[in-house]
Every structure is written in structure tokens, then in C-alpha cells.
Copies of this chain bind each other. A is one copy, B any other.
Amino acid sequence: MLEFEIVKNEKHSKARLGRLKLARGVLDTPVFMPVGTTGCVKTLYHETVRNIGYQLILANTYHLHLQPGEEVLDSFGGIHNFSSWDRNILTDSGGFQVFSLSNLRKIKDEGVTFHSHIDGSIHKFTPESVVRTQGIIGSNIAMCLDVCSDPKVTRKDAVRHMEVTHDWASRSLAELGKLRNDGGKAPDNLFGIIQGAFCEDLRKQSAEYISSLPFDGIAIGGLSVGESHEDFIRYLSYTVNYVDNSRPLYVMGIGSPLYMLKAVENGIDMFDCVQPTRVARHGLLYTKDGVMNITKAKYRNDTHPISDGCSCTLCRNYSRGYLRHLFKAGETFAGTLASEHNLTFFYDFMRNVRESIEQDRFLEFEREFLDNFRTSPL
């Protein structure tokens, strides 16, 4: 079982501080995880990611299965050896990518068949195969295969998706046990995933069922899939009422300050998102005042750094005007500088969140931050 200690519960909300002990380092929660699809956060040296302070990144089982594939990963002895990232790696199960990237998704009881988004070839994931693959990857935290529903799903399909997710959850645990008994390659930890779309009764049922199984942690899936901001908050805060919160709680795929704050407020400990690095490559920079589009003409002659007091390479050495120039000139290095900045912003942001919990002033921090951070909910 995963070592997870709840260090403090905040007085005025469900927010909490935790400590998560993983094989490659101890983490303070709430924690944000950058996405490094293939064991590498896009455009950045590992050293840069580590120096910011990140101890845990997320890699994608779906992508790693397609490229380089299990055979190569196995021959290298897993992703840490393969990618040379020496800290922790959480792998998602591929359930979400099958939902979002593939133009085919055929769900049967046995597993899911899908098209590769790279070459259209046909692949199949089963809950068992996905646990085995994450074992080969050498994942420090693996996720169960689940079925993610569209926000516009019918109730009938939502029920079916939840039931399949539950069946796969118990089969995932069985496969993990089998691997461990047989001395096979098993991931260090396995998290279950709650589904249930946007139906309160299903959410409750799923939260209770997943909590009843001996997972190392629990993820709330099927959120941030295109629903309204109000629905995200409503179904998140509803669902957490029925979750065993002695274990680490994880909301997958969220990466806007607003969503992260709402998640922390509801006792969530972990998040991941491609957002800060993806938008960085398009010239969008996070600051305490909102998201800055550096490609705008008004920054042409601007000699200031992006953010005063930010410790990233960009803010220490480069002006807004030069970063704008690099984007206009199509230099991919612009994306490197911007990615380092946004990940530094997110790291500092989470540190401030933790500090405010420590001081029992999380709600005040949240209000102040959101008042300042004027932007569409990026």
C-alpha cells in the first residue's frame, strides 16, 4: 500500500496538506504534475524540470504503447532507464486518449479496440494488458483502464460506461495481484478511477464502489471533458462526499488555476494537465495577473521580463520584446523558454496553495488569487 500521510486539514474547507512517499522521492501535496508524454516534458531538459522542483511527471500509456511499444520499453528495463528521467512517473491508463484521440472506440466487456492516431492501425487495450504495460513501463503510479463518457452521453450509456469501468477496476487489481505473485513486472501503485458522467446517483455509486476496492489512490475521472465550469465544480464537490479520502485523491486532466483551486478546496491532492506546456508553445504565459499573449504587437519594444520575481530562465534573462521576437521568427526555443516559465508559475502557485493551507487561509488565498487573475478560464 502507498504511504500517504495527511499532514494537515485546513480549517475552513476540505483542503489538506499531505505527504506522498514514492520510490523516487517524497512529494508534498496538493501537487501539480507536468505531462511528459513519452518520459520527457516537451521542449525541456530533465534538469530544467527537476530544478523547478518537480518530482513526479505524468507519461501516457497510450502513446508509449504505440511508440516505442512494450518490446522496446522492456528491453530498456522501463521508462526511467529509457528516458533517463530519474524521479517518479505516473502513467495514465490510455482510457482518456482512446476517448479523445482515436476516431474509433469499440467498448466490449473484454476491453476496448481503437485506431492509432498515428497510422490508423488497430489496437486493443484490456484492463489486464494495461496493468501489464504499466508494469513494463515501470510506473510508480499506474491507473486502471476506464471508460470516459462524453458530457452529452445518454443515461443508458453512462450506466454502461460506469459498469464496465467498475468491472475493469476489479480485474485490474486481480491482474496486479497475479503479476506480484508470479514475480512479473508490476507497477508500484495502482489507482482506481471513478466515472458516472454527470448523474449524481451514478457518481455516488461509482465513488463508493471504487472506494471499496483496495486501490492505493482514487482518481475522479470524466471531469473537464467539455462540461460547463459550474458542472465541473458541482459534480466534483458532490463526488468527493462519497470517496474514501484517507487515500490520495486525484483529478485527472485539470490544469487551470481556477479548476485546481476548486479541486484543492474539495480535498483533491493531485492534478495533471498539458495546459501550461501546450499553451506555452503558442505564446501564452501565466502571470499572477492572468494569461499574457506575448505575440501581441504591444510587446514589440517591451524591455520588461514576463513576471518580476519569477525565477525561471526567461524572467531572469530575457525581455518580453525578445520572447515576442522569437515567437514571430518561428523559433521553437521560444516554446522552451515559455514552457519553463509556465511550469515555474504552476510550481510556485502550488507552493503558495500549500502555504495558505498551512496557515488556514486557503479560501482567502483562493479569492485573492482569482480576483487578480483576470482571464478566461484557461
Per assembly, the copies of the chain total: 2
Q: How far is the CA of A42 from the CA of B332 in the complex (A)?
A: 7
Residues of B within 8 A of A333 (CB): 40, 42-45
Check A321 against B72 for contact (C-beta < 8 Å).
Answer: yes
Check B67 against A328 for contact (C-beta < 8 Å).
Answer: yes
A56-103, CB < 8 A from B: 63, 67-68, 72, 75-76, 82-84
Across the interface, name the chain B residue whose C-beta is closest to A326: B40
Instruction: Answer whether residue A342 sits at the interface, using C-beta atoms and an 8 A cutoff.
Output: no
Q: How far is the CA of A45 from the CA of B329 in the complex (A)?
A: 16
Instruction: Answer whether residue A228 sits at the interface, using C-beta atoms and an 8 A cutoff.
Output: no
Across the interface, name the chain B residue whose C-beta is closest to A301: B75
Across the interface, name the chain B residue whose C-beta is closest to A66: B329
Residues of B within 8 A of A335 (CB): 332
Residues of B within 8 A of A40 (CB): 326, 331, 333
What is the CB-to-nearest-CB distance from A180 to chain B, in angstroms, rounded to a whole number?
27
Main secondary structure of the interface of A (DSSP, over half): loop
Residues of B within 8 A of A329 (CB): 37-38, 63, 67
- Against B, the Cβ 8 Å flags (1 = close, 0 = not) of A292-326 are 00000000110100000000010001110110011
Check A325 against B45 for contact (C-beta < 8 Å).
Answer: no
Instruction: Answer whether residue A115 sits at the interface, using C-beta atoms and an 8 A cutoff.
Output: no
A265-310, CB < 8 A from B: 300-301, 303
Q: How far is the CA of A46 from the CA of B313 in the complex (A)?
A: 10
What is the CB-to-nearest-CB distance from A336 to chain B, in angstroms, rounded to a whole number?
7
Residues of B within 8 A of A301 (CB): 72, 75-76
Residues of B within 8 A of A75 (CB): 301, 303, 321
What is the CB-to-nearest-CB distance from A84 to chain B, in angstroms, rounded to a whole number?
5
Residues of B within 8 A of A318 (CB): 83-84
> Count of chain A residues with Cβ under 8 Å from any Cβ of B?
37
Check B317 against A46 for contact (C-beta < 8 Å).
Answer: yes
Across the interface, name the chain B residue whose C-beta is closest to A74: B301
Residues of B within 8 A of A322 (CB): 39, 76, 82-84
Residues of B within 8 A of A326 (CB): 38, 40
Check B82 against A319 for contact (C-beta < 8 Å).
Answer: yes
Q: How far is the CA of A44 from the CA of B43 in the complex (A)?
A: 10
Question: Which of B39, B67, B313, B331 makes the CB contact (< 8 A) with A45?
Answer: B313
A198-214, CB < 8 A from B: none
Check A42 against B317 for contact (C-beta < 8 Å).
Answer: no
Check A43 against B332 for contact (C-beta < 8 Å).
Answer: yes
Check B325 against A67 for contact (C-beta < 8 Å).
Answer: yes
Residues of B within 8 A of A47 (CB): 313
Q: How far is the CA of A43 from the CA of B281 in the complex (A)?
A: 13
Q: How far is the CA of A303 from the CA of B37 in the complex (A)?
A: 20
Residues of B within 8 A of A38 (CB): 325-326, 329, 331
Question: Which of B67, B76, B331, B332 makes the CB contact (< 8 A) with A319?
Answer: B76
Check A42 against B331 for contact (C-beta < 8 Å).
Answer: yes
CB pairs A–B below 8 angstroms (5 shown): A38-B331, A40-B326, A82-B322, A84-B317, A84-B318
Sample of 18 further A-B pairs with CB below 8 A, known A40-B333, A42-B333, A83-B318: A38-B325, A38-B326, A38-B331, A43-B333, A44-B333, A45-B333, A45-B336, A46-B317, A67-B328, A68-B300, A68-B328, A72-B300, A72-B325, A76-B319, A76-B321, A82-B321, A82-B322, A84-B322
In the A-B complex, the 6 residue pairs with the smallest Cβ-Cβ separation, listed nearest first, are A84-B317, A75-B301, A332-B332, A68-B325, A38-B329, A43-B333
